[in-house]
């Protein structure tokens, strides 16, 4: 430690961003002399919109050394399959943006490029038919997105 070492970090504002910043700084500044503090308003309640529960959260938890299965069991949590946008583009239109992949790439060509080529030549189902997360969501089911998909929800 020298006179230029960080001794105190103060995060002003709670919520998802504040608490995630505090968790990351506490993990990476865990050197015995740096203290991380978080100050949040008692007047502003928790919104809980899940803005941080997008796919990169998996990497964030791994960075902090959090075991995802233990975390889900302790919090009685589940996976977010995607985000539905209501009145997207026009009133009455809905768009579901699934997390995870569409189909499988073929010899270095991305699936969506193959899909768009085929769709330009013939009538095709919507691309969401090739997304396990979109299909699972439309059926009221849940599965962990990715190559090793395992059920994580109760119906």
pLDDT (tens, 9 = 90+) of the chain, 155 residues, equals 777 888 899 999 888 888 889 999 999 888 888 999 999 988 877 666 655 567 778 888 899 999 888 988 898 877 778 888 899 889 999 888 888 788 888 899 999 999 999 999 999 998 989 998 888 888 888 756 555 554 444 44
- Counting the structural domains of the chain, the total is 1
Q: What is the pLDDT of residue 111?
A: 92
Whether residue 151 lies inside any domain: the answer is: yes
Whether residue 38 lies inside any domain: the answer is: no
Whether residue 61 lies inside any domain: the answer is: no
Whether residue 28 lies inside any domain: the answer is: no
* Long-range interactions of 2-7: CB distance < 8 A, separation 24+: 5/33, 5/34, 6/34, 7/33, 7/34, 7/35
Chain position carrying tokens 């809980």: 48
How many helices and strands in the chain, by DSSP H and E?
5, 4
Phi, psi of 85 (to 5 degrees): -105, 120
Whether residue 112 lies inside any domain: the answer is: yes
Active site residue 80: yes
Q: Are 57 and 79 in contact (CB under 8 A)?
A: no
Q: What is the pLDDT of residue 16?
A: 81
pTM score above 0.75: no
Q: What is the pLDDT of residue 110?
A: 92
Whether residue 89 lies inside any domain: the answer is: yes
Quote the CA–CA distance of 98 and 135 in Å, as a whole number.
9
Residues spanned by the domain of 109: 79-155
Q: What is the pLDDT of residue 119?
A: 94
Whether residue 2 lies inside any domain: the answer is: no
Active-site pick, 24, 61, 80, 110? 80
Whether residue 93 lies inside any domain: the answer is: yes
């Amino acid at each position: 430690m020298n006179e230029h070492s960080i001794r105190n970090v103060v995060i002003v504002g709670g919520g998802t961003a504040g608490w995630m910043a505090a968790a990351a700084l506490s993990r990476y500044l865990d050197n015995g002399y740096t203290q991380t503090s978080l100050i949040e308003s008692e007047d502003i309640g928790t919104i809980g919109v899940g803005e941080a529960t997008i796919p990169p959260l998996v990497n964030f938890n791994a960075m902090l050394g959090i075991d995802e299965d233990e975390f889900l069991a302790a919090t009685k949590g589940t996976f977010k399959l995607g985000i539905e946008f209501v009145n997207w583009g026009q009133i009455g239109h809905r768009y579901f943006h699934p997390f995870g992949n569409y189909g499988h790439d073929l010899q270095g060509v991305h699936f969506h490029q193959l899909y768009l080529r085929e769709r330009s030549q013939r009538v095709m189902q919507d691309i969401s038919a090739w997304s396990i997360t979109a299909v699972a969501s439309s059926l009221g089911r849940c599965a962990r997105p990715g190559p090793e998909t395992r059920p994580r929800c109760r119906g």
